Structure 1
Amino acid sequence: MAHPHLCLLGGFGFAGGAATAPAFSRKARAMVAYLALQSGHSQSREKLAALLWGGNSEAQARMNLRQALSAIKKAMDASDGGRFLTDGDSITLNLDNLDFDVARFQALAANSAPEDLEQALVVYRGDLLDGFGLKEEPFEDWLRVERERLRAMAVAALDKLVVHYCTTNDPASCVRAATRLLAMEPLREDIHRALMRAYAVQGRLNLALRQYENCRAALQRELNLQPEPETRHLYEDLRTRRMTPQAASRIAASASPSQTPPPSPARTGERPAFRAEPMRPATHYVKSAGSNIAYQVTGDGPVDMIYVPGWVSNLDFAWSSPRLAHVLQRLGSFSRLIRMDKRGTGLSDRNVGLPTLEERMEDVRAVLDAVGSKRTVLFGSSEGGPMCMLFAATYPERTAALVLNGAYASGRWSKDYPWAKTSEQVEEDLAVVEREWGEPADMSNAAPSLMNDSFEREWFAAYLRNSASPADAIALWRWGTEIDVRALLPAIHVPTLIVQTAGDRWVKPEEGRYLATHIEGAKYIELAGCDHVIWGENSDRLVDEIQTFVTGALPAAPGEGILVSVLSLEIAGPPSGVGADLIVRYAEEIRGELLAAEGRQIRRSASGFFAVFQRPTRSIQCAIAIRHRLRHSGLDVRSAVHTGECQERGDDFTGIAIELSSRLLDHARPGEIIASRTVRDLVVGSGLIFEEHGELEASGLPGSLQLFSVSKPGV
């Protein structure tokens, strides 16, 4: 009896051990596919109804959902394959007893052994739900992202096999892997060259020459470009030489002309060696707060440096740009270069909702822990800059230096920060992004020097498409404009380099100068030109400045100043019969919530305490949790949170952040949580609700501090 199986690669297929394949409707197939790829994770009925019946009324969508679920459950029960678990409004599809091709493919493709990669490609019969589609935009968006993700895994497996078969002198297997890879990515010149060399080593000169013509035609048709000089030189060499074994060996080694040609096969008795271009580095993953964060490591320099890009990115696709690849290779020439795709983008987990700045900071820490980097140079460009600033202020002991390029302190216009765009201008920009998504990119702001370069425009558009869906890209752009880290700048005490382009149209030079003025001891360099991206016209000058800065003698780890979020909390008057020392009486409840939020109590009184946290969201969540716990005992809690620099003194902390948190508490009524604007700006994307609550005037502040009342949705 056949084992029950579900196949989604190359099309939809389901069959059980004791029954013929059921005839699912299109919506039912879509639901099975969606739930299968979320296997083990519950999904709400509301979400499923909106995903597949978004154009119907809520009642009709719910009814359609019930009917589809009933049909699927009946078919699966009859087939002994898969089962639904329901818990109130949530639904989970359990596939423990089902052979699921996507799960098998992912497990095999994650390995590096050639035999596992070959088997993975046997399982990968085609794209996810190939040829399948629904006129439901939310489902189509999800399907497009998942297709691209799995397709990228298949491409990566083929990449590894091409290199493996080149280096192990197996041209026949290389031909097979390269041919399939080119069917998926026909514009990969490095693979065209690998295939030409493999044919040449086999003595199939006519096929090698024909492959060049295939390459040239594809580039001309799709990009209106000619092959690269290296490809043309290889073609000329193949065309003009007779393919003796010695000539084959010379051509095979042409990818590395600086190396000594290998001995003649006639003398050694060995098959001639050949190799492809250096492959893209391996992509690794680390878990951070439940999300998979993708990262790559290149270079072996004496200094660890992590590069955090702006907006969206794709680790693999970055190597497809000769200009960007050149920058990355140069950075890796003097450092161990660590790169990551931020959560929600590129090869990291998508569909994770909007992040907070501190979540992304913790993602960086998780990557650094995974690669064993104890002290690292942080290199942040554009929107990646504010997160690097937060990291440098929060973890100074782990920050060797801070490098900022085209970075900003605030994403929205205000009277005291007039260089950023207004809300109206931001929405105008987003409308253009949405309208032109997928078209050759308009480089007039990102890199004016490249705006007439058709290859760069095509590549950048493809890079963006492979980095995020249109909806996610727009949401992340808007999120990036809501960041404001101005209050953190005085808390940064690490060596800092700020590089700014004089004519940058996205981040004005005044914004770079603002950073230099407010970060103690920062070095500011302004380059000529207008390009915002790091691979623009001044890329070599940018790398020169970074290399000079980070390879010099970096100061020792910084001293006692540290950025923390301070929670001050007070329990309102006790009900009759309750002792006066409330903190002692409810110590266990409070200690449990502090531990859960990774907080540290530093001071206490009979009815209140101070605690410090490394993450502002955790401090607010802790205040909400304590308020909820003590409310059941008839007690009202008022609390306040501020983020700022403090000095650690043994078991205590001192500094203006402690004093301001105490002052904020005076503005809180029983049951209320008050937060400063600094906190609000740091937790953009957390889902917390902030309502204006006046201002605080205090000595030591350059102006007034805006206050907000904090709550959670539905609380």
Structure 2
Amino acid sequence: MPGKPSPVRYVRNGEQHIAYRTFGDGEQDYCVILPSMGTIEMLGESPARQVIEGVAQFSRMISFDRRGSGLSDPISEPAPLEDQMGDVIAVLDACGSERAVISAEAEGAMLAVMFAASYPDRVSHLILLHGMARVTSAPGYEWPWSEEVRERDFLAPTIARWGSGDTGAVLAPMLSGRDPSFVDWWARWERLSASPGTMSKLSRLISRMDVRSILPRVQAPTLILDRPRAAQVNSKHSEYLAEHIPGAIFRSLPGRDAISFGDGIEAYLEAVEEFTMGTVSERGSARALATVLFTDIVGSTSHAAALGDRRWRETLEGHDRLTRELVGQYGGKAIKSTGDGFLATFDGPARAVRCASALTQRVGELGIQLRAGLHAGEIELIGADVGGMAVHIGARIGALGGPGEVLTSSTVRDLVVGSGIEFDERGEEELKGVPGAWRIFAVAGTGE
């Protein structure tokens, strides 16, 4: 293998220890996001070793065990994508990687897409093999199983034979046919990746994840790879990604196995090397995905009249100090005061929701009440300020709220699946200056 593979190392993200390692010493960094079920412990072994050696010819490959799987810390409940993005950052920082190719397969694409949209400066290219924006059916995305059918026809039988290697034979019939040891290898891969109970929890969370709304925000040059003749592959997932990620290149590959290191590996490696090492025009990074928080003091005019100029100014100063304190505490960026409110951004929607909820409770100390609105979308980075439609939408949603309410778009609701945050649906609303009708949700509990 070009370059010596590193030993397994650990980096902390909060209280979680994330296991990672590198392979090769090529000129570019190439970060592989494994599916929720996978482990770096076995990546250097045959048959996975072939794809590792291929990538390591032209890259330093970085990979890690996702929280709750493999060598990383176990978890009591699966983590939302927002928390997992922090794991990617922690691993890249530990490796001294400022910018990397991000590669993923199957449902790992959802984390890869969210990371690429949220951290455009850290992603040089995005490569997805058999990726998907969600794994179950929804309006406008009718071809996959429903959540109930997936539970019955996929998850239940998978858990029943977990650790036997049978699933590997289904996913890679050509590889298992020519190499009988592959089934034993896959059986160990499953057993070392997760217990049946953990796999069941992870899979149920995955069935509710949805990153469709984020696809247009991806800025990195993107390659969508698909083996249309592969077992257990529905190419409509890849086609959807290619249609909705700006400028994405769709490429069909030969091969009958659903995993990268199976049948058709040579064509896969050639496509990856050509895409990442060739001349690919890059788009600017003056835009990024963020969750926008707008707050507004309820009845500010009557408060100002009742308190007088000096006391009202002191109240506003106290409001701004408290807002900046809580935004920083929840990992956000305080953009600016709007006079009787505040604008802030977050790279994680769950932290934005929890910050807004905490803020609406704490401002009671100042004798005022807030309403808050949140939306996740692409923002323009204008020096220290931000702009764009997502900012306007956040403001319009906030204006719909009553005293103490935190309202969000359906985009925010979809992105915090698995966080424990609860919502009440408020129906559809027309937002001034924004096309279409928007589903609005009120935060009913933060899960803290």
TM-score w.r.t. structure 1 length?
Answer: 0.58
Partner of 1:294: 19
CA shift in 2, pair 1:363/1:351, >3 Å: same
Unpaired stretches in structure 2, ≥5 consecutive residues: none
- Of residues 458, 482, 491, the one that matches 2:217 is 491
Shift, 1:707, TM fit = 2.2
Matches within 5 A, 1:518-667: 518-556=244-282, 558-573=284-299, 577=307, 579-580=311-312, 582-667=315-400
Partner of 1:367: 91
CA distance in 2, matches of 1:502, 1:629: 54
Matches within 5 A, 1:328-477: 328-428=52-152, 429-443=154-168, 445-450=170-175, 452=177, 454-477=180-203
Partner of 2:44: 319
Show CA shifts across 1:634-673 (max 9, x none): 4322111111001111221110100111121133222211
CA shift in 2, pair 1:611/1:279, >3 Å: closer
CA shift in 2, pair 1:307/1:593, >3 Å: same
Contact 1:445 1:504 in 2 (8 A): no
Contact 1:280 1:316 in 2 (8 A): no
CA distance in 1, matches of 2:432, 2:240: 23
CA distance in 2, matches of 1:525, 1:366: 31
Shift, 1:703, TM fit = 5.5
1:586 partner SS: helix
Shift, 1:583, TM fit = 3.3
CA distance in 1, matches of 2:281, 2:215: 19
Aligned length: 438
Shift, 1:683, TM fit = 1.7
1:606 partner SS: coil
Partner amino acid for 2:278?
G
Matches within 5 A, 1:95-494: 281-320=6-45, 322-428=46-152, 429-443=154-168, 445-450=170-175, 452=177, 454-494=180-220
2:252 partner SS: strand
Partner of 2:228: 502
CA shift in 2, pair 1:377/1:701, >3 Å: farther
Answer 1 or 2: which has greater strand percent. Answer: 2
Contact 1:400 1:494 in 2 (8 A): yes
Identical amino acids, percent of aligned pairs: 33
Shift, 1:697, TM fit = 4.2
CA distance in 1, matches of 2:280, 2:139: 37
Shift, 1:631, TM fit = 2.7
- Of residues 416, 420, 423, the one that matches 1:690 is 423
TM-score w.r.t. structure 2 length?
Answer: 0.91
CA distance in 2, matches of 1:701, 1:311: 37
Contact 1:584 1:606 in 2 (8 A): no
- Of residues 488, 513, 528, the one that matches 2:239 is 513
Show CA shifts across 1:659-709 (max 9, x none): 111121133222211111211222222111122221244589786433221
Runs (4+) of structure 1 moved beyond 6 Å?
A: 699-702
Partner amino acid for 1:647?
E
Show CA shifts across 1:163-208 (max 9, x none): xxxxxxxxxxxxxxxxxxxxxxxxxxxxxxxxxxxxxxxxxxxxxx
Which moves more between the two structures, 332-341 or 527-536? 527-536
Contact 1:397 1:558 in 2 (8 A): no
Partner amino acid for 1:297?
T
CA distance in 2, matches of 1:707, 1:501: 39
Partner of 1:252: none
Shift, 1:437, TM fit = 1.8
1:517 partner SS: helix
Contact 1:408 1:507 in 2 (8 A): no
CA distance in 2, matches of 1:538, 1:678: 37
User: With CA pairs under 8 Å and 6+ residues apart, which has the higher RCO, 1 or 2?
Assistant: 2
1:323 partner SS: coil
1:351 partner SS: coil
2:258 partner SS: coil
Show CA shifts across 1:4-34 (max 9, x none): xxxxxxxxxxxxxxxxxxxxxxxxxxxxxxx
Unpaired stretches in structure 1, ≥5 consecutive residues: 1-255, 257-277
Q: CA RMSD for the aligned pairs? A: 2.4
Contact 2:33 2:108 in 1 (8 A): yes
Contact 1:318 1:463 in 2 (8 A): no
CA shift in 2, pair 1:535/1:527, >3 Å: same
Contact 1:580 1:606 in 2 (8 A): no
CA distance in 1, matches of 2:356, 2:319: 14
Contact 2:18 2:67 in 1 (8 A): yes
CA shift in 2, pair 1:700/1:330, >3 Å: farther
CA shift in 2, pair 1:524/1:283, >3 Å: same
Answer 1 or 2: which has greater helix percent. Answer: 1
